[in-house]
Every structure is written in C-alpha cells, then in structure tokens.
C-alpha cells in the first residue's frame, strides 16, 4: 500500500469521518439515502448490519463487521455525489483484505455501481473520459494496477507505485 492508500485507509478507520463535496463542504446522507447506497451496492441487511459478502457458516472465517460508506463526494465534477462502499475480510477479498464499490448518484436520484474491486481505492489526479479520476487499487505489494474510465467502464491502464510506473512481479 503506498502512502496515499495508507492515509486513505487510516482516514476510513477514524471515527467521525465526514464525507465532503469537491469544494470540501460536508455531505450528509440520511439513513434512507445510506440504505439506498448499500442496496445499490448489492449489500443485504442482516442482524442490524449491511453485508456485501458473507462467508459460509462452516468456513470458519469471521463474518464481516459490515460494509461502510467511506467517502461521498463529487469525483467527476457533474454536480452529483459518488460514494465508496467498502467491506473487509480475507475470505471474500483475499490478501487485499478489503473490497470496494464505487457508486454514482444518477439524475433520477437512484445510485448506480460504476466499478468495484478487491483492494483499497485511491483516486488519482489523472483523469479518464468525462472527468472521472484514475483509480489506483492498492493491496499487498509495491506495484498497483491503475484503472481509467473509458466512458463505459474502468479498465486497466497501467501499474504504478508512489506515482511512478512499475512492472508487477509475475
């Protein structure tokens, strides 16, 4: 995990994290809006928590403590917020130990999954089509995939570590 991803992961764990607009003004989601984000991400509500991935009972793997909305802000400058929903656990997300879904609020008020992956997302200053930021997907190691929006989907664009191109080990 690079310095930016480590800082992001630490920020996510800090109680009281406040989602912000691009101008750093706070965004607040009502409980109903948060539930709409979770549902759009594919989470289910069980025993008072939202879950994206639940290991089988006989697997011995711990059950997730629940998904969280880690970040809410306008990432692409269209005036509508995006939300990052994350979940953790090695059973579901392998060595990265974390998975995420990036959702965007649509003009009709619904939420739509834009992308998701195993790992820790870091939104970079470089951009793809329509102002969407490139995403460095961190996890164990020192060379991370960077995905770029092509107008329809996020796709692998390059590999980087701390802003420098790299070749992942084979």
What pLDDT, in 10s, does the model give residues 61-111?
A: 777 778 999 999 999 999 999 999 999 877 778 788 789 999 999 999 999
At 26, the pLDDT band (50, 70, 90 cuts) reads low
Q: Where are the domains of the chain?
A: 3-12+29-55+64-165
pLDDT at residue number 102:
98
Report in angstroms the alpha-carbon separations of 22 from 25, 27, 68, 73, 102: 7, 10, 20, 6, 16
Task: Compute the distance between CA of residue 153 and CA of residue 6 in angstroms, rounded to an integer.
Answer: 26
For residue 92, is it left (φ>0), alpha (ψ between -120 and 50) or beta?
Answer: alpha
pLDDT at residue number 28:
75
Q: DSSP string of 87-146?
A: EE-HHHHGGG-EEEEEEEE-TTS-EEEEEEEESEEEEEEEE-GGGPEEEEEE-SSS-EEE
The 3-state secondary structure of 131-148 reads HCEEEEEECCCCCEEEEE
């Amino acid at each position: 995990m690079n310095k930016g991803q480590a800082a992001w992961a630490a920020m996510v764990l800090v109680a009281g994290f406040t989602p912000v607009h691009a101008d750093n003004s706070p965004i607040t989601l009502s409980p109903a809006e948060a539930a709409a984000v979770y549902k759009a991400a594919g989470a289910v509500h069980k025993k008072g928590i939202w879950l994206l991935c639940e290991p089988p009972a006989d697997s011995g793997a711990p059950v997730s403590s629940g998904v969280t909305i880690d970040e809410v802000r306008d990432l692409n400058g269209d005036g509508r917020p995006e939300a990052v929903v994350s979940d953790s656990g090695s059973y579901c997300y392998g060595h990265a130990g974390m998975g995420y879904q990036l959702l965007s609020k649509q003009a009709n008020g619904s939420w739509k999954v834009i992308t998701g992956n195993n790992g820790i997302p870091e939104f970079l200053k470089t951009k793809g089509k329509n102002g969407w930021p490139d995403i460095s997907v961190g996890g164990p190691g020192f060379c991370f995939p960077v995905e770029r929006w092509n107008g329809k989907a996020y796709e692998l664009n390059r590999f980087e570590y701390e802003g420098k191109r790299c070749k992942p080990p084979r």
